[in-house]
Structure 1
Amino acid sequence: MRGLSLARALAVPALLGIPGVPALQAKATVRASPNAAPNAAVAKALHQRFPQTRVGKVDCQLVAGLCEVRAGANIFYVDRSARYLVIGRVYDLEKRLDLTAASQMALGPQVLMANSVMRSDSGAGEADTGLAAKVERNAGPALGRGVPAEKAEGPPAPDSAPDKVSLAGLPASGAVVWGGSGEAVTVFSDFHCSYCRLLHGTLKDLGVRVEERPISILGTRSLSDAVLCSPDKAAALERAYAGEAVSAKACDTAGLDANEAFAVRHGFSGTPVIVRSDGAVLRGYRPREFLAVWLKASRP
């Protein structure tokens, strides 16, 4: 039988409703030797499971209990037995650091940009690029989103963000408006998201008018509440991105509930998500030059 690639193995079990699990358990007898160096042992075990996937580097020291694996432009995680595989991002909450993004940056800025989109339009069985996006898409819209489970109830959301969305139903009370008088743009963000902070600075440089709608992906709801309830919301938003304390009297934050429900409904699984004035959706950070052109494309 021809050897499996990692992307193909994960695509097949997704049809059973449990992404990745059956394919990995099918070869559960492959184990990394506890007597070998962890990095080499895990690399060997992964090669036995997926001989068509070229594993470039394994790092079992970065995160306790997990080994980070680089395969081409993809980064994923396995335990030291190489039995359990995790697709997603790893955050150090104490340092407020996206460890996965740091590793992607080490592979090159183009890899970071490609992965920030978190979307792949290619089918299963192709090259292993976009692997995390494939698995997340197959997992369903309410799985592992960082949004409270009760907000994920209701009709199933689309598998991925549509090309365009309508923001007409969102209340003004859920937004912080800031910026200049240039192109209008709406940003779904998280104040602990490093790329949201980077995007914030880029949009400020571009002089655009921003309607920022916080959503809690990294457990930042209390901070979002404080920003929204501040007398000067724009100034509070600046302090939040700077990592400074933000305090305010409690107020009605139903607008934030609406933001999060909208994000779940439209499959916004990460931040930032940028929505142009014509409803066009862009997920992930982009450099200044790209955004300047993309924003102007909404003009008739």
Structure 2
Amino acid sequence: MFKGIFRKQKKYATIPSEQAKRDIPEGIMQKCPRCGAISVTKELEKNWKVCKNCDYHHALSARERIGITVDEGRFFEFDAELVSEDPLHFPHYLEKLKKDREKTGQNEAVVTGECTIGGYPAIIGVMDSHFRMGSMGSVVGEKIARAADRAATKRYPFILFSASGGARMQEGVLSLMQMAKTSAALERLHRERLLFVSILTNPTTGGVSASFSSLGDLNIAEPEALIGFAGRRVIEQTVRQKLPDDFQTAEFLLKHGQLDQVVHRSRMRDTLIQILDLHTDGGENNE
């Protein structure tokens, strides 16, 4: 008679109703693409968008990067009005650009401007992988070249955060030409003996890694950032051998001399302040 009392009750999975789904604001939680840990978005943002479980560095928008790097209220944007055209009449290119402008709230895949960091004046550029995967078209190259020219004219250090899948295929050879244009603009900084700090974030690949992002007086990267020109599979097929598991990571490049330092996002601003302090005449703020 007691058999039914102690019988285990079956557990059934429940599916949230459509109303329950609507009651949860979109974007309130984020899943780590590496370890799968679920984080509250606000808590993740307080931690510089770095996973507390596995230390994975989530992608930042250009505005987010500027917000955690420059002094509050001390960023003055350049060339925000520049927009890409469709010189090759590539199918649906203009529609895709329009969608990315609406999604990101900016006109192109890089934001440039004048700022102070720890009180030290600088010209800064920040690429955004949310806009056409940070690809470099004519406008991206033009904005970076103009920023480098302004740094040379004002004799300010130039700091550039890269995040890109490479040259923008929809602009063909015009996109590839930006590699030479940006490199030439940086040559002026070199001749003027002005500081250029290149910061490579995940990912920095293709024509961007093969041009301006590798030309810094100091080349710095975030932990485990993917950095390289051709893809891993292409290289393995070319050299006909298995590549190391950590190939094309920031740590691999640091070990082989292509980077000067790998810096955690939480320490990046302080590191830049130290660099600017060392490269300021007499160690004093020249603002």
Same-fold status (TM-score > 0.5): no
Taking structure 2 as the reference length, the TM-score comes to 0.28
| Structure of larger gyration radius | 2
TM-score (ref. length: structure 1)? 0.27
